[in-house]
Amino acid sequence: MIKFSIKTIIFSTIVFLLVLCSGKLFLNKSNVQSFRSEQYKMLKGDFDIGFFGSSHVFCSYDPRVFENELQLSAYNYGVAAQNLHTTLAIAKQEIKKRNLKLGIVDIFWETLREPPFSNRISSFQLQSIDYMDFSFEKIQLFNKIFGRDSLLNIFPTLRDHALWKDRVFQSNYYLKTDIDYYKGFKPPLYFNNNVWKNLVNDKKIENKSNEIDSKYQLSLGEKQIIDDIIETFKKANVPLLFVSAPTHKKYINNKDFNYQDLIKVYLKQKGANFLDLNDYWDSLSLHLFDFKDDTHLNTNGALKVSQHLATYIKKNYNISTNSSIDLSKNRYALLENPKKNGAVLYKKIENPKINKQTGVEKLILYKDLYGRLEILLAGDSLKDISIEVAYDVATNKKRQLGKDIQRKIKKDRFSVKEKLENLKNEGLYSGYNYKGSEFKVVIVDCPFSEVRNLSIAIGDKAPKEIVVSKKYLKLK
């Protein structure tokens, strides 16, 4: 009996550990969350600031701005449709794991929904839960969202076992060149006029006017989850700031505004700090071009919001840190001081013709956090820019590349042509604005070390003038 009991315990433990470890194989590797999780693990050390919440978070708060302006390390934990119940569990885990010094939790009506959720919202929570460490909190959260009967589904191996062929032999996530990835942050890089017009035409966004009962109050459950978050940070002695990322005021309905008021009143009552960035629409000069859609910002909008929030933190919180920050991958630090912060190439464009046609005065090349080549074109006032980046590709060994590059990987010369248009006809858009100078970004999705015989040509209508020509790129 004793022999059997010991063997059963050992065998069950092995099975449990194998089920736990094999879970990774059954996760959707072509999903961005899988990629983010890999990158997260590669980031060693503590994070001073953690941003928690839904897609509003990963589209609004750019860790680069906080790192550059506050000299504090930051990580964006935002995951699509993340509910505050999930946020709380993740925050609990990360406060300890990454020794956070400030927690920023984005809150708005959708994040406050109480379980049971719809199937869609429930399955979105998996994008967070699947990447959490296995813990009692994770089990509790899973139970809350999916119920006791589905508890075994906490293990991806059991939940998605039927997809074994697809999952085990699945290719990894391809980084997209129109997404601005950085430590969990991932909004679209540019405003896309066509996307916006399609959204409006398909009535996926429309001028809403649904009103809620003015007598509506936050439910006990909604208040409870807010209280739990406040209590968690308080217990851990970590300052907490609630924020609400701006949504496009033309397309937002009254329900959202009423909810924001309710949240504001309740948080005030609880003595919690709350910064509703919707209140700063005018002072931030938010514009259609700052949005991806009616509720999400793009890099341009995120830059404005992040700068504002960084200033607010500087003014209201005194955070000391021991963590060292590597600014060589930080776009904003490189724009301010390219040489000091380790740009791979910094070039002043001294050709007056190009200066006049495009407004570009300096060009900065650097290796971004994901090993890609990023090109910054900066000047006082940028105009329409045509740019062509051409290079040979050495054999790729390390990272899954986009299919277009894979096709070219057999040492063909690869080139990317882009037209970085200003949208003056449509409004005011010209380029990103950071500390008084304008800049535009081109991302080359090829591992930096594999770029050979690089040449960059720019111009206004066509990329006529070669401004960079390099056999290979070397980090400084």
Partner 1 sequence: MLFNSLDFAIFFPVVFILYWIVAQHKISRNILLLVASYVFYGWWDWRFLFLIFISSLVDFVVGQKIYKTENKKKRKGFLMVSLLVNLGFLVYFKYSNFFIETFVDTFRLFGKELEVSTLNIILPVGISFYTFQTLSYTIDIYRKQLEPTKDVLSFFTFVAFFPQLVAGPIERASHLLPQFYKTYKFNYNQVKSGLLLIAFGLFKKIVVADRVSVLVNQVYNGPEAYLGYEIILATILFAFQIYCDFSGYSDIAIGVGRTMGFDLMKNFRSPYLSKSITEFWRRWHISLSTWFRDYVYIPLGGSRDGKYKTYRNLFLVFFVSGLWHGAAMTFIIWGAIHGVIIVVEKSFSKQRRTIAKALGFEINTVSRKLFYIIITFSIVCIAWVFFRANTLSDAITIIQNGFHLKWSQVLNFYDLGLNAQEFWTAFFAIVLLVVFEWTHQNVSFTKQLAAQPLLFRWCFYLMIVFTLIIFGVYGDMAPKEFIYFQF
Interacting residues toward partner 1 by CB under 8 A:
1, 3-4, 11, 14-15, 18-19, 149, 152-153, 157-159, 161-162, 164-165
> Rounded to whole angstroms, how far apart are CA atoms 449 and 280?
43
Q: Residue 153 or 355: which CB sits closer to partner 1?
A: 153
Q: Shortest Cβ distance from residue 22 to partner 1 (Å)?
A: 8
Q: Residue 163 or 195: which CB sits closer to partner 1?
A: 163
> Rounded to whole angstroms, how far apart are CA atoms 467 and 385?
13
Q: Shortest Cβ distance from residue 4 to partner 1 (Å)?
A: 5
Question: In the chain, what's the furthest Cα-to-Cα distance?
Answer: 89
Tell which residue, 308, 369, 378, 301, has the closest CA to residue 347.
378
> Rounded to whole angstroms, how far apart are CA atoms 375 and 80?
29
74 and 48 Cβ atoms separated by less than 8 Å: yes
Q: Residue 14 or 195: which CB sits closer to partner 1?
A: 14
Q: Residue 122 or 330: which CB sits closer to partner 1?
A: 122
> Rounded to whole angstroms, how far apart are CA atoms 68 and 82?
27
Q: Residue 136 or 169: which CB sits closer to partner 1?
A: 169
Q: Shortest Cβ distance from residue 8 to partner 1 (Å)?
A: 9
Strands in 451-459's sheet, in edge-to-edge order, are: 413-420, 385-393, 451-459, 465-472
Q: Shortest Cβ distance from residue 146 to partner 1 (Å)?
A: 11
Q: Shortest Cβ distance from residue 169 to partner 1 (Å)?
A: 11
> Rounded to whole angstroms, how far apart are CA atoms 459 and 418?
11
> Rounded to whole angstroms, how far apart are CA atoms 402 and 406?
6
Q: Shortest Cβ distance from residue 155 to partner 1 (Å)?
A: 9
Neighbours of 333 (CB within 10 A): 24
Under 8 Å CB-to-CB from 452, ≥6 apart: which residues?
391, 392, 393, 394, 471, 472
Q: Residue 29 or 331: which CB sits closer to partner 1?
A: 29
Q: What are the tokens at 282?
A: 């005018």
Q: Shortest Cβ distance from residue 161 to partner 1 (Å)?
A: 5
Q: Residue 15 or 462: which CB sits closer to partner 1?
A: 15
**Pairing mode, if any, of strands 385-393 and 413-420?**
antiparallel
Q: Residue 158 or 275: which CB sits closer to partner 1?
A: 158
Torsion region of 45: left, alpha or beta (phi above 0 gives left; psi -120 to 50 gives alpha): left
20 and 74 Cβ atoms separated by less than 8 Å: no
Q: Residue 169 or 283: which CB sits closer to partner 1?
A: 169
Under 8 Å CB-to-CB from 25, ≥6 apart: which residues?
157, 167, 168
254 and 222 Cβ atoms separated by less than 8 Å: no
Q: Shortest Cβ distance from residue 336 to partner 1 (Å)?
A: 53
Q: Shortest Cβ distance from residue 168 to partner 1 (Å)?
A: 9
